[in-house]
Amino acid sequence: MLPTSVSTSLAVSPARPTDVGLIQALLEAEDLDRSAFVLGDFVVAKDATGRFAGCARLKHYDDCIELSSVAVSPAHRGHGVGSTIVAALLQRSMAPMIYLVCEPKEVAFFCRFGFVVLPRQDRPISLEPKLCAYEAKLGAMVVMKCER
């Protein structure tokens, strides 16, 4: 079930070369995944004035696709932007299964889009390096899966 508080004054579209600097600055500020940057994996949200509001990515691995780098600029938070970006990105993808890595406190946000927490033994191997890196910094992380 999709969230009800989705912002309507936003445009979500594939990222363009002119968005790269804004995406990278936001991901760096939030210490989110910037590895193996592929512009075509990203969507960006722009507000009614055309200002960059946030981004998200579907990152492709050998054994899975991961929703990652979900970030909203601080000025735009709390207005449904994050929900709009995630819903739009999921809608654009035909992938039958999408995974993500998040902190336990973020589980409720992603549950809204149909993600469920995965048992440790079911985690895709390719996500292990990312999990190890984040768990060293932040403590226990959660892997979630959305089956479509």
Ligand X SMILES: CC(C)(COP(=O)(O)OP(=O)(O)OC[C@H]1O[C@@H](n2cnc3c(N)ncnc32)[C@H](O)[C@@H]1OP(=O)(O)O)[C@@H](O)C(=O)NCCC(=O)NCCS
Task: Confirm or reject binding of residue 1 to ligand X (CB under 6 A).
Answer: no
Two tokens, residue 95: 């992938």
Site for ligand X in 90-129 (CB under 6 A): 102, 105-106, 108-109
Task: Confirm or reject binding of residue 27 to ligand X (CB under 6 A).
Answer: no
Considering only the stretches 36-44, 71-79, 122-130, 136-144, report the one whose residues sit in contact with ligand X under the rule CB under 6 A: 71-79
Residue 117 CA to residue 109 CA, distance in Å, equals: 12
CB of 5 to ligand X, least distance (A): 5
| DSSP assignment letter at 119 | P
CA distances 30 to 70, 117, 122, Å, are: 10, 23, 28
Task: Confirm or reject binding of residue 80 to ligand X (CB under 6 A).
Answer: yes
The half-sphere exposure of 147 on its side-chain side, counting CA atoms within 13 A, is: 3
Task: Confirm or reject binding of residue 72 to ligand X (CB under 6 A).
Answer: yes
CB of 70 to ligand X, least distance (A): 4
Largest CA distance in the chain: 46
Task: Write out the residues near ligand X by the rule CB under 6 A.
Answer: 3, 5, 30, 32, 70-72, 77-83, 102, 105-106, 108-109
